Amino acid sequence: MTVDEIISAAMKEGRVYLTELESKQILKEAGIATTEIRLAKSKEEAVSLSREIGFPVVLKIVSPDVLHKSDAGGVKLSLDSEQEVGKAFDDIISSIKEHEPAAKIEGVSVQNMARPGTEVIIGMSKDPQFGPVLMFGLGGILVEILKDVSFRIVPLTRRDAREMIKELKGYPILEGYRGQEPANIEVLEDLLLTVSDFVEGRPEIMEMDINPIFAYSDGAVAVDARVILESE
Ligand code: ADP
Ligand code: MG
């Protein structure tokens, strides 16, 4: 499906929250690397998709009504065998039925397990005065507790992108802290510019949250994504 098709299908259903599956399809079309992601509607399908993708895999709930998948027991990481995948499928479905009984379940996504990297996040929200604004930050506790994030108004210049990355207090972490793999700063600049270009051409998108992105020395991959559409 194209970006237009995904957006119009959601609008027809009167829904503004896109699932991770839809959001990642949109990112891919925008030229942003994501984990491989496929929809399984049954346990059997989840097992055969995991065989195709190759172990270890990750299973996650696909529902427009579940915004925080882990909180609802909707994320299972590092699944190494068909047995683990089958059990994870059942556990996810029963946990969602318990935590969010009214949620519409579309299925469960099967993804490759991305190798660990430095977690960063990119967000887009709209300011009533300035329009789309991008946010960049380091993932995990650095953003949640320390609010170590930077903002720039769309459209970004390369200089904006570079500054947003360098002004983070946690920047040394991206440079490779205590022997950790450094993040490729140019790749992150490119990513910010790609997101800026993309949202500039898509006024139908109200908010976007790519959290986390795993940053590596040779690339970066979006591991989770959420897009919210404008309501009219
Ligand atoms: P939530 O809706 O709770 O934010 P996420 O999709 O972000 O769910 O998953 C929670 C965490 O699990 C992520 O922050 C990341 O650390 C890990 N994770 C999720 N998907 C993958 C994946 N495909 N590969 C590796 N780690 C993953
Ligand atoms: Mg997430």
pLDDT digits (tens, 9 = 90+) for 66-103: 999 999 999 999 999 999 999 999 999 999 999 999 99
pTM of model > 0.95: yes
Ligand 1 atom having least distance to the Cα of 69 = 2
| Whole-number pLDDT of residue 69 | 97
At position 24, the amino acid (one-letter code) is K
Q: Of the candidates 120, 103, 70, 141, which has an alpha carbon nearest to the alpha carbon of residue 222?
A: 120
Mutate to test the pocket of ligand 1, among 223, 226, 227 (most ligand atoms within 8 A of CB): 223
**Assigned CATH topology for domain 3-112:** Dna Ligase; domain 1 (3.30.1490)
What's the Rg (C-alpha) of the chain? 18
Sites in the chain below the pLDDT cut of 70: none
Q: How far apart are CA 83 and CA 196, in angstroms?
A: 42
Nearest partner of 100 among 146, 67, 133, judged by Cα: 67
Residue 94 sits at φ, ψ, to 5 deg, of -70, -35
- pLDDT of 147 reads 85
Q: Which atom of ligand 1 is nearest to the CA of 37?
A: 23
Which atom of ligand 1 is found nearest the CA of 66?
2
**Cβ(78) to ligand 1 under 6 A?**
no
Question: Is 222 near ligand 1, meaning CB less than 6 Å away?
Answer: no
Ligand 1 centre to CA of 223 (Å) is 6
CA of 224 to the centre of ligand 1 (A): 6
Pocket lining: 224 vs ligand 1, CB cutoff 6 Å: yes
The pLDDT of residue 209: 97
For the chain, the structural domain boundaries read 3-112, 118-229
- Number of alpha carbons in the 13 Å side-chain half-sphere of residue 32: 29
* Each residue's pLDDT tens digit, 171-183: 999 999 888 899 9
pLDDT value for 1: 87
Return the CATH architecture of domain 118-229. 2-Layer Sandwich (3.30)
Ligand 2 center–CA 167 separation, angstroms: 23
